[in-house]
Structure 1
Amino acid sequence: MSKSRDFLGPYRLSRLIRIGSTAEVWEAVDDTDMQKKKYALKVLRSNCANDKSEVAALKHEFNVGKALSSPRIIKVVDFIADKGRPFLVLELFSELNMKQALRKGPEPLGYIVDKIVEQAAEGLYYMHTKNWIHRDIKPDNYLVARDGETKLIDFTIAETKRTGISKLFYKAKTVQGTRSYMSPEQIRGKLCDERSDIYSFGCVVYELVTGKPPFTGQTPNDLLSKHISASIPSAAAQNNNVTSELAGLIKRMMAKKQEDRPASVWEFLKEYRAIETWRKRPRVPEESVFDEVGGVKSADDMVKRPGS
């Protein structure tokens, strides 16, 4: 699928936005639509197209996403398989995820961080009200536009919230998540709830205001052990422009025990809106990180681009 005129179903692939280990994300045009409406297609790569587990994960993402309707969450439109390639049809939104937007540190986003944090939290809170636990909250799974509009994406490993007797018999089949952002209970394969996502979101807010995740490790196991037992770092110590109030809130979000964290994302939002993020508000940068988004036409182009 390296030519811009290639089709999947009614969708003409116009430009590759991003490529990952299992999927490609394309900008596409619905040629059956009079207005030639644009969408994003999340397409399983050819080496994964017949992998039952990958196809099941994509279907699961569709089933979760189709039930969610919020301006803070990416709209999932359809699940289709064409030419042996299963794919999701998604709302087309910003090309930069939060991780990419942070590639030059927190300063270029500093002037809109308040908006980003609030909208990111609103999307997560909405998902929780629909009894879904995301379980993979990280900067990569938030799309950010140049004005700060933010949407939550990727529901591949989301689980329904367990209640009643089902909580007592929960046992994770496999430990899933992203090591830099996983809560202690998720690492241990224990039951995750809203507070597990709050831990991960605390890691995200820490990275938004400091430019780096709260923990790093020499090995994967070293990194995981720090989430379980290492003291929680202070965002204010990493960036002296961060207020002590926000640094304290992040620490509570990342408490080792679930009961020591804010009880809900709504409780976090109420507190966050009552405090200042910065000691001195950052200025609007002369050059925006969003100005550097360049189009590519094929998977080969994306692979060759430095830092892609």
Structure 2
Amino acid sequence: MTASDASQVKHLSGDLALRVGQYSAAGRKAENEDAIGIRIPDGNLLTTKGAVAIIADGVSAAEAGKEASQTSVTNFLSDYFSTPESWSVKKSAQQVLTALNRWLYSRGRSFADNTRGFVTTFSALVLKSQQAHLFHAGDSRIYQMRNGSLEQITDDHTTRVSEKHSYLSRALGLDVHLEMDYRSLSIETNDLYLLTTDGIHDVLGRDRMEYMLRELTADLDLDLACKALADAAFAAGSKDNLSCQLIRVDQLPAAGIDDVVKRLTELSFPPFLEEGMILDGYRVVRELHASNRSQIYQVEDVESGAQFCMKTPSVNFDDDPAYIERFVLESWIGNRINSPYVIKVVETDRPKSCLYYLTEYIPSITLSRWMLEHPRPAVEEAVYLIDQIAKGIRAFHRRETLHQDIKPDNILIDRNGQVKIIDFGSCHAAGLSEIETAITRDIALGTAQYSAPEYTVGRKPNYQADQFSLAVISYEMLTSELPFSGKLENCKSPRDFLNTHYTESYRINPLVPHWIDGALRKSLRYQPERRHADVMEFAYELKHPNPLYLEYRQRPLMDRDPVRAWKLIAGILALSQLATFMLLFS
């Protein structure tokens, strides 16, 4: 993370303060097959990824149980913190665990006699902001102690075959398909989390551990408390390995609104810039765009002559913490999207005197301007551009980020026909949304005529929302008209959306194939779950005819559009009644 990155998330960092302790011993066994690990990163990584504690118990029946447990702990602690910071805790952990499980399973299957299974239990606790995230498979356990009461917060994945014997039904490396429990819960100051293997909790039991923790954690450091629990289990006759971890929450990142605003406003808003002015070594060439929310300038590095775009915040919002937070995070988000179809954020070591960020400068026109100059483009040319836009949107989605403002003015086309998506001001990154802040965040809505219905009706948007916006743009590119007769921006309720009428694109532009219209219709559906599963699936269907859409056109109107069919029937009945009435009284 660069110094600039650090400053951008500084206001979110707060003060998550933890105390930890751990202990592991072989006990009466010849070898310790347990593995434990804790990592509390420094600085902003603690804010964006959190702190992690893991305990794993290699399965004794599998000869490589020790290697499996150690590999699982070591690799997870390394790979989890290497996942994109924009990803949520759940996605980051699940991606790592899926890969780890497949590796363990394949290692176990690589032996001809299948005697060396790489199988281990796995219990991980991730503490981020004010939430605890649990990932669990097997019979190791995680407990939470709050207000002196100890509660088991994971379930044992065991199947009992007799009073004395049971076997694991879930574990890492046990099956190619991993079933991992996930749970999240709120953290409170002074919460204590205990992670144990069965060599301790099966012998001591919950009540005794609760009693010991009340006494031990008041006077001893947590390493000694862990050792005391292990010693007690050994003295009680435990025949298994002995491992446990303790994590106490001493302070939560609950900064007050004044503290957050102070961190946000460490850099002042820049002055109004004019052509020829120099700011931090960048000379203003010209103003490219100005609105009530921001300004964009073409600037030139005085030393190197390199050309950039500089985006500055509007002074209209210099006292609005939600706006400032969104602006300072724009370049943080943009810097994590790596795609030839997305504008690149430029980071330099040059210190900033005020609030702004730089992107690459590309001589280009907006898609809005392109559509004015090409009112009825060749279908192949439009599809070529749409495919590039889809690839750019997919780059956001791969970082678990929604753009939320896909519209023609936010899409550039250079002289070679290369597409660049711009503007990160409305983006929603899952990883950042998990971080608590005192700021009441605004819900950034895109332009109404290009926004998916879920933003208006209060449904939580997902990747299909960006896909809907792309479908609106695609329809407009092919027909020079907006879908639903341009009435989307006037819709305020589910009924309004359902009362809109879709006009087939080929009725406006006869050159549009029916199967392309079928793909457009599907991505423009009101219900997100009825749209394409992925934006690239939509792009694929624009280039490859889907026979289902040809069949759809041949089906009766009542099957294709029952609402429209009943409206037509009602209209015919009304006309017939009117005609009968006129005949009676003529």
* Residue 70 (1) aligns with residue 339 (2): yes
Specify whether residues 228 and 158 from structure 1 end up closer, same or farther in structure 2 by C-alpha distance, changes over 3 A only: farther
* Residue 28 (1) aligns with residue 305 (2): no
| Deviating 4+ runs (over 6 angstroms) | none
TM-score (norm 2): 0.42
Corresponding residue to 2:385 among 83, 104, 116: 116
Encode CA deviations 1:136-193: one digit per residue, 9 max, x unaligned.
111111111233210111121211359xx9xxxxxx9646221101212121121111
Deviates more, 1:234-243 or 1:224-233: 224-233
Question: Would the aligned equivalents of 1:233 and 1:251 in 2 still touch at CA under 8 Å?
Answer: no
Encode CA deviations 1:14-55: one digit per residue, 9 max, x unaligned.
12222222222111111132xx11001112234445543332
Q: Secondary structure, in 3 states, of the residue corresponding to 1:62?
A: helix
Larger Rg: 2
1:16 aligns with 287
Question: Would the aligned equivalents of 1:112 and 1:148 in 2 still touch at CA under 8 Å?
Answer: no
Question: Would the aligned equivalents of 2:377 and 2:478 in 1 still touch at CA under 8 Å?
Answer: no
2:427 aligns with 158
Q: Secondary structure, in 3 states, of the residue corresponding to 2:359?
A: strand
Q: How many residues align?
A: 266
Q: CA deviation at 1:220?
A: 5.0
2:538 aligns with 268
CA distance in 1, matches of 2:377, 2:536: 27
Deviates more, 1:126-135 or 1:15-24: 15-24
Corresponding residue to 1:235 among 505, 529, 545: 505
Q: Secondary structure, in 3 states, of the residue corresponding to 1:176?
A: coil
Alignment of 1:104-253 (within 5 A): 104-107=373-376, 112-161=381-430, 174=443, 176-215=445-484, 220-222=489-491, 226-253=496-523
1:298 aligns with none
CA distance in 2, matches of 1:81, 1:222: 46
Specify whether residues 218 and 152 from structure 1 end up closer, same or farther in structure 2 by C-alpha distance, changes over 3 A only: closer
1:290 aligns with none
2:527 aligns with 257
Alignment of 1:19-58 (within 5 A): 19-33=290-304, 36-49=305-318, 51-58=320-327
Q: CA deviation at 1:111?
A: 6.3
Corresponding residue to 1:6 among 274, 277, 288: 277
Q: Secondary structure, in 3 states, of the residue corresponding to 1:187?
A: helix
CA RMSD of aligned residues (A): 3.0
Give the gaps of 5 or more residues in structure 1.
Answer: 166-171, 277-308
Question: Would the aligned equivalents of 2:365 and 2:413 in 1 still touch at CA under 8 Å?
Answer: yes
2:357 aligns with 88
Specify whether residues 135 and 228 from structure 1 end up closer, same or farther in structure 2 by C-alpha distance, changes over 3 A only: farther
CA distance in 1, matches of 2:477, 2:400: 27
Specify whether residues 153 and 109 from structure 1 end up closer, same or farther in structure 2 by C-alpha distance, changes over 3 A only: farther
Question: Would the aligned equivalents of 2:449 and 2:486 in 1 still touch at CA under 8 Å?
Answer: no
Give the gaps of 5 or more residues in structure 2.
Answer: 1-271, 435-440, 547-586
Q: CA deviation at 1:227?
A: 4.0
1:60 aligns with 329
CA distance in 2, matches of 1:187, 1:128: 21
Question: Would the aligned equivalents of 1:206 and 1:214 in 2 still touch at CA under 8 Å?
Answer: yes
CA distance in 2, matches of 1:70, 1:255: 28
Question: Would the aligned equivalents of 1:184 and 1:228 in 2 still touch at CA under 8 Å?
Answer: no
**Aligned-partner residue type, residue 522 of structure 2:** R
